[in-house]
A and B are shown apart, each in its own frame.
Chain A
Amino acid sequence: DVKVTQSSRYLVKRTGEKVFLECVQDMDHENMFWYRQDPGLGLRLIYFSYDVKMKEKGDIPEGYSVSREKKERFSLILESASTNQTSMYLCASTFGYGYTFGSGTRLTVV
């Protein structure tokens, strides 16, 4: 089975901190995605990557950046965390048929 692993299940950070959320997949997928999940808003795309070192903005990229130095790893970076970035963050990967999601990282910014 394809596995998408998010390094932290829960994270608490302070306002202004730089935060790294890590995601690793083990199936050589080219496409990887970062979504945030908020009640009533569903899943909103932050950034995605279709190849190493390639990235594209999604619908809500403001305040975030990403890094993909290796095919299996896609990192989401909050440059200066703010309280409105408190959310569930989901990473996903695909080779083109359905997404495989990680279990999510619940980030709280205080």
Chain B
Amino acid sequence: GENVEQHPSTLSVQEGDSAVIKCTYSDSASNYFPWYKQELGKGPQLIIDIRSNVGEKKDQRIAVTLNKTAKHFSLHITETQPEDSAVYFCAASYEGSGTYKYIFGTGTRLKVLA
């Protein structure tokens, strides 16, 4: 079936360093790739997304890249801060199906060490 693999499952970085989380999807029809951040005790929150017609998108310290050929997409966080510590989920979906179902990755726990 369709699935999304996410790596690594845990990631520790020093404050100020960069963090990269990678996902691979199986359904070649997928064309929408959101990233969610889940802080302790809260529901996941959308932080950035990308559609298959672009290769990269940036929002301040966060960027997402997409390689459609390899079916890979990645989240890049630069100049990490303690408040970036959270669990991050990637997801893939096919816009156009009408159902807006997402397939989520298994999550990455990011720890930013002060």
Q: Which residues of A contact B113 (CB under 8 A)?
A: none
Q: In the complex, are the beta carbons of B42 and A42 less than 8 A apart?
A: no
Q: Which residues of A contact B49 (CB under 8 A)?
A: 98
Which A residues touch B45, using CB under 8 A? 101
**Residues 45-75 (chain B) with a chain A CB within 8 angstroms:** 45-46, 49
Q: Which of A31, A41, A42, A99 contacts B46 (CB 8 A)?
A: A99
Whether, in the assembled complex, B25 has its beta carbon less than 8 Å from a beta carbon of chain A, the answer is no
Q: For B41, list chain A residues within 8 Å (CB).
A: 103
Q: In angstroms, how far is the closest chain B Cβ from the Cβ of A55?
A: 12
A104-B106 contact given A45-B101, A98-B34, CB 8 Å threshold: no
Number of interface residues of B (CB under 8 A): 23
Q: Given A31-B100, A50-B98, does the pair A42, B43 have CB atoms closer than 8 Å?
A: no
- Min CB distance, A10 to chain B, in Å? 11
Q: What is the minimal beta-carbon distance from B105 to any residue of chain A, in angstroms?
A: 6
Which residues does chain A contribute within 8 Å of B36, judged by CB atoms?
Answer: 99, 101
Complex interface residues of chain B between 68 and 114 (CB less than 8 A to chain A) = 89, 95, 98-102, 104-107
Least CB separation from B1: chain A residue: A59
Q: CB-CB < 8 A to B104: which residues of A?
A: 35, 42-44
Contacts of B105 in A (CB 8 A): 42
Which 8 pairs, one residue from A and one from B, show the smallest C-beta to C-beta distance? A101-B43, A42-B106, A43-B104, A98-B46, A42-B104, A103-B43, A101-B44, A31-B100
Chain A residues in the interface with B (C-beta under 8 A): 4, 31, 33, 35, 40-45, 48, 50, 56, 58-59, 90, 92, 94, 96, 98-104
